[in-house]
Amino acid sequence: MTGSSLAPMLDAGNQEERVRTQVGIIGAGPAGLLLSHLLHLGGVDSVVIEERSEDYVRQRVRAGVLENTTTDLLREVGLGERMDREGLVHGGISLRFDGADHRVDFEELVGRNVTVYGQQEVVKDLIAARNRDGGQLLFDVSDTAVHDIDTDRPRITFRDSAGQPRELLCDVIAGCDGFHGVSRKSVPHEAYDHAYPFAWLGILAKAAPTREELAYTYHERGFALYSMRSPEITRLYLQVAPDENLDEWPDDRVWAELHTRMAVDGESPVLEGPLLDKGITAMRSFVAAPMRHGRLFLAGDAAHIVPPTGAKGMNLAVADVRLLSQALTELLRRNDSRLVESYSDTALQRVWRAEAFSWSMTSMLHIRPGADAFQRQVQLAQLRYTAGSRAALTSIAENYVGLPW
């Protein structure tokens, strides 16, 4: 494989600026930015393009639970300093039902933990690292399209932030641009899709957490989740209908419902405060297989979506790009294609395990619309068994903290 050159070339015919690199990465979320960082450490050049602005990417609120395997990797590649200083280490979670709190003790069951550190904070760390190392990050692009992915010289065309046409000549393209991006649509795939009959209404509140760990609550009025982002910020969720109108949920109603669903022995753990964000998130499971076509490889949400109940979304993206960076480094530095040939099959094994865990947690904790008394008693029986079984608790713990690579 030839090395890359970032010197621009101008096409005299259409005044389109053409840039050469080894890996063109579409999407500047955690997957795309981490892939660029890992490739840099392996001696492979990349250019990252992103349709959103840098400010938007830095500030968008997403998942915040990092598996033990994810935190280990971030430390290994020089991205753990601020995470270790500001992240909140959690040694377990709680399952709340029957008016009582049942703790799943990760450290006692499997000897590991998780860290609460917002996705936007990981993104900030990655942008800082890529800027420090001279990485090529292009924000505010438009009209992105991929070409010639069946050849060994695929291309990405787009318009830069000034509206000028650009062309990126690559050895490989990595599609890290999410479910609605151009990459997934360019890969012929089997779509495994499941929509859930409920959604999450989430709020970000300027209120200090009143507990140290996440609490997953099963309640007859619907699921609720207590989580946090920092010592000053809490993140709270309520199960609502998928077509719920956010305008029908004024702040007072949100707080009242949170107190009702999360109360144990008549006491609620929720401390109220000014809302910083409020939104509704649809719940779905989705897998695109394979995760590769020719020289275009999918990673992160471009290839799979999980319901947030299992805290797997960003962690799966990290697992994908860890595999992909190794495969592309072998291909581009040593002309060894074995890892790229097995990338999709290997990645999908972990994806499907995470899908199964996320589906199981979601099904166990949410009230299905129209569920009869029998179905609800079955759910409660499963929760009671889980809370009383060391084997069941160990299964939750090892899946939640992250299975070994």
| 3-state SS string for 201-244 | EEEEECCCCCCCCCEEECCCCCCEEEEECCCCCEEEEEEECCCC
* Block residue for tokens 């779509």: 191
* Block residue for tokens 């012929």: 188
Rounded to an integer, what distance in angstroms lies between the CA atom of residue 232 and that of residue 220? 30
- Asked if residue 158 lies in contact with residue 145, where contact means CB atoms within 8 angstroms, the answer is yes
Rounded to an integer, what distance in angstroms lies between the CA atom of residue 202 and that of residue 197? 17
* Block residue for tokens 């979601």: 362
Task: Give catalytic residues, as residue numbers.
Answer: 90, 216, 308, 312, 400
Total count of residues recorded for the chain: 405
Q: Is 51 helix (H, G, I), strand (E, B) or coil?
A: coil
Q: Is 298 helix (H, G, I), strand (E, B) or coil?
A: strand
Handedness of CA 300, 301, 302, 307 (dihedral sign): positive
